[in-house]
Structure 1
Amino acid sequence: MWLYILIGILALIVGILLGFFIARKYMMDYLKKNPPINEKMLRVMMMQMGQNPSQKKINQMMKAMQNQQNK
């Protein structure tokens, strides 16, 4: 009886650890393929919308996006 409980607990721990490392690997690969928005991408998006972005405006938008992510 105790053997079944011990095996169940060990299987649970191994499953949690394995799930954590698989999820971590998946997220790292996802962020490599789809990086977060940087200043160059923001500048291109604003130019496509017909705006002529200044560095000050780019910095304001980057700071606003970083504040939004931190919430």
Structure 2
Amino acid sequence: MDLAARKYSFIQELTTVDESLLGKLEKFLKANKKDWFSELSTEEQAEIEIGIKQADNNEFVSHETVMGKFAKWH
């Protein structure tokens, strides 16, 4: 059974669960959501934050400009 069929089957099963089990499933799903950013080191997070601030302030070089400078090697 492929992934889409498994998901559909699971959704069908969810229609038959009681309130208690549904609550447990919701807690499980929320607890197991991984946020990739929180898994980074504090140094990596800081660098990303700096990059976002620079982009917000238009302190960046466009992709087209960079590709133009390096076109002779591509």
Is TM (by shorter chain) over 0.5?
no
Specify the TM-score bucket, using the shorter chain as the normaliser. Answer: 0.3 to 0.5
- Using the size of structure 2 for normalisation, the TM-score is 0.32
Structure with bigger RCO (C-alpha 8 Å, 6+ apart): 1
